Structure 1
């Protein structure tokens, strides 16, 4: 099925199941420990072995030699495979950094060997005995130092855009802002580490792993192993968080497959937590310059956003200017990105890549500009709302209600009670409120599914879609139940297996909307099969209460299925509606903070997110996504930073003791409001993504609240107490 025209009325609009606050159908499995995560798999054949990776001790250079003799004689060791043993392996389509193989070292903790032993402890102990000699080279590890050498990225990333004459308009503006903002390198820090179990049967390999994108992993694993894709099976039904860190094939899966092939037995590999930040991907740091010019009435006449980020040679920039191209009006505009070649670990997608760090800067700049104009920050944002693409005014938004989000949020949060800068004190606390807009583009991906009507009237959905804690099982079940006219407890959902039809996968907040659209398409095929089987006119067929009805004739689904059952399979593909209408999601974040006037400690007191993201398929799972994103935004604002050793090229705080993420005690009650909307341009579900919108703008709202509380403007994240304390005594 191809979605080429805006959706009209369809069975989803009945909203008997879709849109209802249904608890996760997989929740009991997870809370009772019966859901099998990657490291918990056990091959049904011979007992598995354990692999422990050895990571490079240098960030750039070559391996001169590897001495594994002592390790090979250690207790329990079965095999050791080194990067020199396998030589250069072909990289897959989705990897910037090579995962394993050859003498070249591209980054610190790159895998250089895998030790295989009878137990995990034996493998770990033996790994410490592997001696690697390196020929190190001078690397580039400092983004600031490399700014002058940064280049315009590949045109496919759309690194530059412009409209009007920014330079002239900026000079002529009544009020102007020219400021620099920085965001640090950040780690995904998901609860479940990267882990895989691999087992070979002849030329066929099965990998039980933790993957957001089953088909991407399958393709890249086949390429790197040099085998036919049809001989690779990837299984990942439950994932303990990913945030983009499991979008692409990682070293654990490749090492497990190589080791299992070598020893002839299943091998299980997990990346130790201290290895993950340097061995896998991360969100790269940015340096951003924002310039805004406006007239006395608050109308923006000039806006420019430039961003510098770094990655390994051949990598991609952090798309931090993307939201500035669409969020606010202004006739004269310019955005640009520069990419520096750095020898740090691979920079790549992390929840809301581009918009998350971009909004961290833009939404502070918007507040600063409002202050220059003497305007309320919400009033200034509303003044510069636009219903069309500012760079292409002939292209309207499919649906945009940023103003509604801001107004409703202001009312619910009590914005009218906001005090002036550094005016509100409660005991030893300086208290302030902040706001920021939320924005994330709406993305869709092709997504397939197979839906079976079984002889007992139950419906089974099969798709390689993944559930990274987002509720995929539940919204997919709701979609099938709505389409086939049964209750949700009559639906069985099977996910995360490459034997099933290729889905969108989980990422870019495209997962729920795209995958349910794929299930919708498959259900349309199944409904047609039922109609044909029963001789019904498909134009007036009704599926309801486990029955199918046409005219005066009613037949149960079980009877319609017959002994063999019926199957519908299809893939939702997408037309070019995005060419005529810009599809985006919007929202507003409100935060109240307290800052201790003696220590500079910042505490979150209240949070509210108002989101406009099309039809909400399940308000419970959607709220869960948003409050998780809000929590992540607190980390980005106040604590999360991978500290770079610019001498030796690695992230120093590479574990959860040194890389500080928010915990329960850091987060107060969070309120989430969903605007009542549908977007027929988005999909037959009329939904959009929500999981990343909830993050975009949160950190800036906190920064703006800290400023309102203290009068101290911090433009360099995270906002740690050392950036406040030096100016607090004069306030106290």
Structure 2
């Protein structure tokens, strides 16, 4: 059912407080001092001028910081995104990347701290650095196999190189994708409130409050009872909040040292220091028969990582999961650079990997003089050839059919440069998309009160995706109650355990737990009703009762009802409590590949004189199981499409490799779309109900909206101009290139 977001009024009126907006008495403000040196050693830090500024309380460096545990075992967070040694702010005198914090100035006002930060003099002995992936990709190595959740490329099938050499039609394409940086509306920040008995209440911009608490307790040797982390409202994250950012560690460090409340917030420029979608190089080779049948598929990728950690993504696996080929070989390697470790960004791995295979498939269709949709259907994978498993559900064919019909694809002339409108060339392109349908574990507590109100509690997060609304909706539907009678509590590490919000897993995970705990409540209510004197429910089975409008009723005799509050009153109860631990059905799920799918159709208009591209129309068809709230889900897909357009045409991080530094570090130079860049976006939800992916039949929609969009734009540009562009973003200079 489409319902507006429950937290909308609080957000648009300013009543919602974000991490850096919570008040605290006697609050101190911390400002980070960073270094432009990409690699080296700190020789000395002069803080005398900074300490002389009125209001400055302390300048914390690696020489006077509180004790931190040095063992990586105690530092790594629960997301386990990397293997290696995670970066620790102010840990020692080593500089590992440009923008690394070397000091934290703490003052009674933000203005004093900001001014004093400019007076800190850090002398760093620079050492040779390397930040150019293309210069060192020949030295790439295999990633560590220990990363939790990472799927290495599958073993080769057949002899792909020999099959490619003999294939009548061939495509050999190299792709380059530069680094992209997170730029959510809410800057990363933390307010650490130093309370009674030295208890720390930490308001942090994070996708997992319990993950942050886990890290803080281990880094600083604090008992869990001394740390509470809250993140009720999060102003966008999409991967940037999966791991604790340096702000929360630095603010906690200062609070412990000074025994006062401290707030640390990054500037927009500093947001470019702490994580990014990694730069990547890829090569895709496709060999096909004249009828379009794939005979060979190879897909190799090299991704950038830091020298401290192996950050890995699933980049190439999607290719042979999407398409059937008699012979396939996939490869993935890493190159170490002197940058901060990359981080997950919406649809990590798939954003690059699916782009490459979808552009290569479009080029193959062009060389075969075959319709791009027909080529994909010709090589449609009816099961997962990587794992040799069936899909739990896959309605990608229906995505193609419904999106093509809505778009008017049958009217597309096959030849490039065959459509024009005034001075602009018009092109139509399409691409497929896929992402994992993930499910984790979670616990939800439910409390049905005597006044008829239902309270659901879990430490879930809502990063702007509508979690609060959808979970309230699921609880209300399960219990047959009005939405206004259900309250969903989240965003607090003291609540029952919940995973981080990432990978489009929250609905399948938390939603299933909400439904599970409501079913247990229903069972208790049924048992209580049966015990009442002369109860009409005394002899019925649990499956004979239903719940609606705050009543329990007999399914075969609908006029036999009892109000839920009357059941509690008759039993002398002020409240009824139940708990539920949702564990994935691993034994059943491992027999299937669980995935979401999409088909993206795109229209562009290209002015060749200026190289400008306008994406004037997009139709995105999504198969993601049961859609619990079409309004919030549609918003997710539209947001993903906008980001895909941004990836295709706008976002580009410029690096000066002589300095080893990202240079365009603000919205004036790091371009993202504005309203005038976005036109018609049409979203179709294809019917699908996957009870293997989750007990709700739902999958996730957060990532899939992005996947394939940039490829569809690229393919549309080729159809408009006849030019194939293999690097992102597709800026005017590339569009105009001969």
| TM-score, shorter chain, exceeding 0.5 | yes
CA displacement 1:518-577 (0-9 Å, x = unmatched)? 212222232233233333653433221101235876332223344531111122111223
1:18-417 counterparts in 2 under 5 A? 20-43=1-24, 46-86=25-65, 89-90=69-70, 91=72, 92-94=75-77, 96-156=86-146, 157-161=150-154, 162-201=156-195, 202-278=197-273, 280-313=274-307, 314-393=309-388, 395-417=389-411
Distance 2:59 2:567 in 1: 57
Contact 2:623 2:686 (8 Å CA) reproduced: yes
Helix, strand or coil for the counterpart of 1:309?
strand
In structure 2, what is the Cα distance between the partners aligned to 1:38 and 1:292?
Answer: 49
Unmatched 5+ residue regions in structure 1? 1-19, 728-732
- Secondary structure at 1:379 match in 2: helix
Alignment deviations for residues 605-663 of structure 1 (CA, whole Å, 9 cap, x no partner): 11110001100010000000000000000110001111122112121111222111111
Aligned equivalent of 1:677:
688
Q: Deviations over 1:79-109 (max 9, x none)?
A: 2211222276545223733234221212111
After the TM superposition, which residues 618-697 of structure 1 pair with which residues of structure 2 at under 5 Å, given as runs? Answer: 618-697=629-708
Of 416, 423, 433 in structure 1, the residue corresponding to residue 418 of structure 2 is 423
Superposition TM-score, scaled by structure 1 size:
0.94
From 424, 449, 453, the equivalent of 2:448 is 453
1:596 to 586, 604, 607: 607
* Helix, strand or coil at the partner of 1:155: coil
The alignment yields a C-alpha RMSD, in angstroms, of: 1.6
Q: String of CA shifts for 1:153-193, please: whole Å, max 9, x gaps.
A: 11243433222221222122221111101111001111110
Q: What is the deviation of 1:318?
A: 3.2
Secondary structure of the residue aligned to 1:724 is helix
CA contact (8 A) 2:603 2:617 kept: yes
Match of 1:542 in 2: 546
TM superposition shift of 1:597: 2.0
Residue 612 of structure 1 is matched in structure 2 by 623
User: More displaced, 303-312 or 193-202?
Assistant: 193-202
Q: 1:89 to 1:54 in 2, by over 3 A?
A: farther
Aligned partners of 2:32 and 2:623: how far apart in 1? 45
Which residue in the other structure is 1:567 paired with?
577
1:340 Cα deviation (Å)?
0.7
Conservation of the 8 A alpha-carbon contact between 1:331 and 1:390: no
**Are 1:726 and 2:737 counterparts?**
yes
CA contact (8 A) 1:101 1:112 kept: no
CA contact (8 A) 1:323 1:355 kept: yes
Asked if residue 483 in structure 1 is aligned to residue 478 in structure 2, the reply is yes
Distance 2:224 2:244 in 1: 14
| d(CA) in 2 for partners of 1:58, 1:88 | 24
Report the Cα offset of residue 194 of structure 1: 0.2
* Cα distance in 1 between the residues matched to 2:473 and 2:249: 35
Equivalent residue number for residue 4 of structure 1 = none
Report if aligned partners of 2:68, 2:220 keep a CA contact under 8 Å in 1: no
Residue correspondences, number: 704
Say whether the 8 Å CA contact 1:510–1:689 is kept in structure 2: yes
- Mapped to 1, the partners of 2:631 and 2:699 lie a distance apart of 16
Q: Secondary structure at the match of 1:241?
A: coil
